[in-house]
Amino acid sequence: MVFENNQHEIGTLPSIDAVQYERVSPKYVRARISVLGIFFVASIMILTILSLIYPNYRLLFYLLMILMALFGSILVFYIFKSYKHIGVVVRDHDIMYKEGLWFRNEMVITFNKIQHIEISMGAIERFFNLSSLKIFTAGGSGSDLEIHGLERQNAQKLKDFILGNISSEEE
Amino acid sequence: MPFDIPQRQSPFALVLILYRTYLLLLKQIWPFAIYFIIKGNFGSKGSFLKVFIASAVVIMIISIIRYFRFKYSVVDREFIIEKGILNRKKTAVSIDKIQNINSEQNLIHQLFGIEKLRIETAGSSALEFELDAINTSKARELKSYLLESRIPLINDDSVMAPIDKKLIFKLSTGRLMLAGITQNHLVSILILFSFFFWIYDSARDAGINVEDYKDNIPDYTTQVTNTFILLALLFVTGILISMARTALKYYDLSFIEENEQNFKVKAGLLKRMETSAPINKIQSITWSYNLLQKPFNLYNLNIRQAVSDLRELKRSVQIIGLNKCQIENFSQELYPDLDISELTYETINVKYLTRFSLYFMLIILLGILLYFLIDGFISAIVLVLIGGYGILRTYLYYLKMGFRLDKNYLVLTGGIFGYKLTILPLYRIQAIKLLSTPYQRRNQLASLEIWSASGYVKIPYIPTMKARQISDYCLFVSEISQKSWM
């Protein structure tokens, strides 16, 4: 590889401000809500059965159901709201990811320090044809990155692109 | 080829394996054992004793088989270990991938003239080998054979030039004692306390009721005096223990520059450790002193290497008892293009102090409320103390936290009661996180976490603009770097 060392004017240095984040697949919201829904329906069923078995504590079980419904609706609200704040950017030398509605977290991983990449698919994700991409770095899981809710073929493309960049930088 | 025939470890390895497994067994069953011994009852017809002896025999047989089935060899530039009792497992790693070979000698090792070798490789921790016990001379031979026959990865920034070993630092006994006295003793006192409670709990589990002995305590004043004596004893023992630990761990410490590529640290009295730190694996260095160490000019140096798992960080190279001049010389040698004495540091935003002080004020307020509402004197005192300590900590942290982005380095100062300085070369950076809470965003502030292969450093509460500039610059330097970073 030819070593290049071009001069950069400070004003033209690549800046994170200038990037445009891309959202993950909108189906990701549906996938998360489905998981929540399955959990919710299962718990309601269990609580109903319990209230039939122990009629003395019926009131308690109803209260629990109401609480769960409340908590569930807050979570649904959160899932909808936070979707807009999930974003991915792929650049020449790094990948950027952001998430979080209240507590925001923007992360950048440079390609030349990536150890390996994994694509995984849960049952629900498979149903929606979605994949998760996990990027591993050295030194523990703190700087690893997991991107959920990517279209299956996009995840594969992203993986190939990053791997291609890693090997070209190592030449 | 000296190692192409598979060979076993030294026969003493068998002793070690047995010793270790029996110790493990003993650790599991000792509360029961004490219970049975105190009761003088070994079950019907001594059934407990029989079970114990039977399991000891089984363990012995398994250990012997395991010893005979464990073989190592070097074939075709690969280091191979074969082991397994029923299904034989063969693990091989290419010699070129070996990064470090560290050796360790505890008292038993020293008595029998054997050594434990740990072979570290690049990549996952699953590919790390341990040889429990091989003869010291054979260990030397294997070590030099493996390290010399590998083809080193070519670094464009360094030329292999074997030079004579250079002793950078040797810890004198006087400095060792001084360092021992000025250690942070709180940790060992806490450990002692928890050990105390653990014994108490275990004794109760084993059926000894400690409460039964309560009746023997005569009156209130004696009780108070006894408690004080006990506390003082615990305190003194704690200090003695941490002094002894320091002395044992760092006895005869020497810090050697093996060649241009590698540093080595040897230390320990009962357990002799030899750890190497190849320069291209060193991610960052930190030096520090606490309040007690400051007047004696005692510095601790921590060399952080790339790890495959952060839990391994406790294995990072730690050197104590250095003085300021030695520290500065070392940093000059490792990072020649950084002049640490010329640096001035930027501070974090004062909102860090006000925000966290507010939280701790709330805790104090809660304590005062508790006192007036439910007359909870003890809980009020505890809450006020926690709050007060929290504010003091926050204030000191805010006061001492500083950072400087140099051309090729990020330098951070900090510490709470003591002092701490970390140097991270920018080309080691692998990821950067920018974190913000709603409060921070309202004030255009953010916190930065800068990750290398040995964990992260954090700069909290700086202007978002500044954070982005730092982040952009760090990434730029890291991404154009061609140097090998681990």
Name which of B146-155, B177-186, B275-284, B355-364 the model is least confident about. B146-155
Find where tokens 């070392």 sit.
Answer: B330
* Domain limit, last residue, from B397, B414, B431: B397
In a domain, A118, yes or no: yes
Q: Which residues of A touch B468 (CB under 8 A)?
A: 15-17
Q: How far apart are the C-alpha atoms of B474 and B180, rounded to whole Å?
A: 39
**Residue B467 sits in the same domain as residue B322:** yes
Is the Cβ of A110 closer than 8 Å to some Cβ of chain B?
Answer: yes
> How would you label A51-77 residue by residue, b for 16+ Cβ within 10 Å and e otherwise?
beeeeeeeeebeebbeeeeeebeeebe
In a domain, residue A68? The reply is: yes
B435 touches chain A (CB under 8 A): yes
The alpha-carbon gap from A44 to the nearest alpha carbon of chain B, in Å, equals 35
| Exposure string over A91-127, b if 16+ CB within 10 A, otherwise e | bebbbbbbbebeebebbbbbbbbbbebeeeeeeebee
Give the pLDDT of residue B474.
93
The count of CB pairs under 8 A between chains A and B is 100
A2 pLDDT band (50/70/90 cuts)? Answer: very low
DSSP for B128-192, please give it. Answer: -EEEEEEEHHHHHHHHHHHHHHS-PPP-TT--------EEEEE--HHHHHHHHHTS-THHHHHHH
Residues A75 and A92 in one domain: no
Of B219, B250, B281, the domain-final residue: B250
Most A CBs within 10 A among B475, B483, B486, hence the mutation to make, goes to: B475
SS3 B301: strand
And the tokens for A78?
């959160």
Q: Are the C-beta atoms of B471 and A108 separated by less than 8 Å?
A: yes
Q: Are residues B194 and B50 in the same domain?
A: no
pLDDT for the residue B84:
79
What's the CA gap between B433 and B238, in Å, rounded?
Answer: 40
- Flag whether pLDDT at A58 surpasses 60: yes
A137 touches chain B (CB under 8 A): yes
The range of the structural domain enclosing residue A125 comes to 87-170
Question: What is the per-residue pLDDT for B98?
Answer: 78
pLDDT higher at B32 or B327? B327
> What ipTM does this complex have?
0.85
Whether residue B312 lies inside any domain: the answer is yes
- Reported as a pLDDT band with limits 50, 70 and 90, residue B1 is low
pLDDT at B153 over 70: no
- Comparing A133-137, B128-132, B152-156, B253-257, which segment has the lowest mean pLDDT? B152-156
The pLDDT-based confidence of A165 (bands split at 50, 70, 90) is confident
A99 and A165 co-located in one domain = yes
Answer yes or no: do B288 and B201 share one domain: no
**A54 and A111 inside one domain:** no
The pLDDT confidence band at residue A114, using thresholds 50, 70 and 90, is confident
Average pLDDT over residues A91-96: 89
The distance of B451 to chain A (nearest Cα, Å) reads 7
In a domain, A23, yes or no: no
| Nearest residue in chain B measured CA to CA from A165 | B479
The reply to whether residue B478 touches residue A112, judged by beta carbons under 8 angstroms, is yes
Cβ-based contacts of B434 with chain A (< 8 Å): 105-107
Q: Does B424 touch chain A (CB under 8 A)?
A: no
B475/A104 Cβ within 8 A:
no
What's the predicted TM-score (pTM) here? 0.75
Q: Judge: B479–A105 Cβ closer than 8 Å, yes or no.
A: no
Task: State the total domains in chain A.
Answer: 2
* pLDDT one-digit tens code per residue, B438-456: 999 999 999 999 999 888 9
pLDDT at residue A54 greater than cutoff 80: yes
Best A85, A98, A104, A162 member to test B by mutation, with max B CBs in 10 Å, is: A104
* Residue B127 binned pLDDT confidence (cut-offs 50, 70, 90): low
Instruction: Give chain A positions within 8 Å (CB) of B475.
Output: 93-94, 108, 110
Please report whether residue B288 resides in a domain: yes
The amino acid sitting at A129 is N
Average pLDDT estimate for A32-54: 92
Report yes or no: A47 and A64 within 8 Å, Cβ to Cβ: yes
Is the pLDDT at B372 greater than 60? The verdict is yes
Look at residue B112 in the predicted model and tell me its pLDDT. 82
Q: Of the candidates A82, A101, A118, which is a domain's last residue?
A: A82
d(CA B280, CA B337): 16
Quick one: pLDDT at residue B159? Answer: 43
> Mean pLDDT over all residues of chain B?
83
Chain A nearest-CA distance from B441, in A, is 9
Among A residues 26-65, those touching chain B with beta carbons less than 8 Å apart: none
Which backbone phi and psi does B457 adopt, to 5 degrees? -115, 150
Mean pLDDT, residues B36-64: 75
pLDDT of B457-483, one tens digit each?
A: 999 999 999 999 999 999 999 988 877
Same domain, A164 and A101: yes
Residue A120 at interface with chain B, using a CB cutoff of 8 Å: no
Q: What are phi and psi of A85, to 5 degrees?
A: -100, 0
Domain membership flag for residue A2: no
Contact list in B for residue A137 (CB cut-off 8 A) is 430-431, 451, 453
Contact across the interface for B479 and A94, Cβ inside 8 Å: yes
pLDDT value at A45 more than 70: yes
Out of B17-31, B59-73, B272-286, pick the least confident: B17-31
Can you give the pLDDT at residue B446?
Answer: 95
pLDDT at B42 over 80: no
For residue A7, being part of any structural domain is answered with no
Last residue of a domain, one of B374, B397, B420: B397
Per residue in B68-121, pLDDT (tens digit) is 888 888 888 888 888 877 777 777 777 877 777 888 888 778 888 888 888 877
Rounded to a whole number, what is the distance in Å from the CA of B280 to chain A's nearest CA?
A: 14
Are A93 and B454 an interchain contact pair (Cβ–Cβ within 8 Å)?
no
Choice between B47 and B371, residue whose per-residue pLDDT is larger:
B371
Are residues A140 and B307, on separate chains, in Cβ contact within 8 Å?
yes
Domain closes at, from A45, A64, A82 = A82
Q: Which of A58, A82, A106 is the last residue of a domain?
A: A82
Query: What is the distance between the alpha carbons of residues A128 and A126, in angstroms, rounded to a whole number?
Result: 5
Check which CATH number belongs to the domain holding A127 and give it: 2.30.29.30
- For the stretch B306-335, pLDDT in tens is 876 666 666 678 899 888 989 998 999 899
% pLDDT > 90, chain B: 24
Tell me: do B191 and B135 sit in the same domain.
no
Q: Does A18 touch chain B (CB under 8 A)?
A: no
Sort A140 into a burial class: Cβ within 10 Å, 0-12 / 13-18 / 19+.
Answer: buried
Give the three-state DSSP class for B99: strand
Domain residues for the domain of B227 are: 179-250
Q: Is B17 part of any domain? A: yes
Q: Mutating which of B439, B441, B472 best tests the A interface, going by the most A Cβ atoms within 10 A?
A: B472
Asked if the structure places residue A22 within a domain, the reply is: no
Are B304 and B197 members of one domain?
no
Instruction: Kindly tell me if the per-residue pLDDT of A6 is higher than 60.
Output: no
Counted domains in chain B: 4
Residue of B nearest to A138 (CA): B453
Nearest CA among B120, B119, B102 for reference residue B306: B120
Instruction: Tell me, yes or no, if B471 comes closer than 8 A to chain A by beta carbon.
Output: yes
Residues of A in contact with B453 (CB under 8 A): 113, 137-139
Tell me what pLDDT residue B419 has: 93
pLDDT of residue A1: 41
The token pair that represents B382 in the structure block: 């505890």
Question: Which pLDDT belongs to residue A63?
Answer: 92
Q: Is B50 on the interface with A (CB under 8 A)?
A: no
Q: Which residue of B has its CA nearest to A95?
A: B431
Answer yes or no: is pLDDT of B122 > 70: no
Examine the domain organization and report whether B232 and B357 are in the same domain.
no
Q: Is residue A57 one of the residues assigned to a domain?
A: yes
Q: CB–CB of A104 and B485 under 8 A?
A: no
Is B417 inside any structural domain? yes
Q: Look at residue B157 in the predicted model and tell me its pLDDT.
A: 41
Residues A144 and A160 in one domain: yes
Instruction: Over range B208-227, report the average pLDDT.
Output: 66
Q: Which residues of B touch A102 (CB under 8 A)?
A: 437-438
Residue B161 has pLDDT above 70, yes or no: no
**Main-chain dihedrals φ then ψ at residue B448, nearest 5 degrees:** -115, 135
Residue A48 in any domain: the answer is: yes
Which amino acid, B28?
Q
Q: Average the pLDDT over each of A7-11, B102-106, B147-151, B405-409 and give the range with the smallest value.
A: A7-11
Q: Is residue B140 part of a domain?
A: yes
Is residue B24 domain-shared with residue B38, that is, in the same domain?
yes
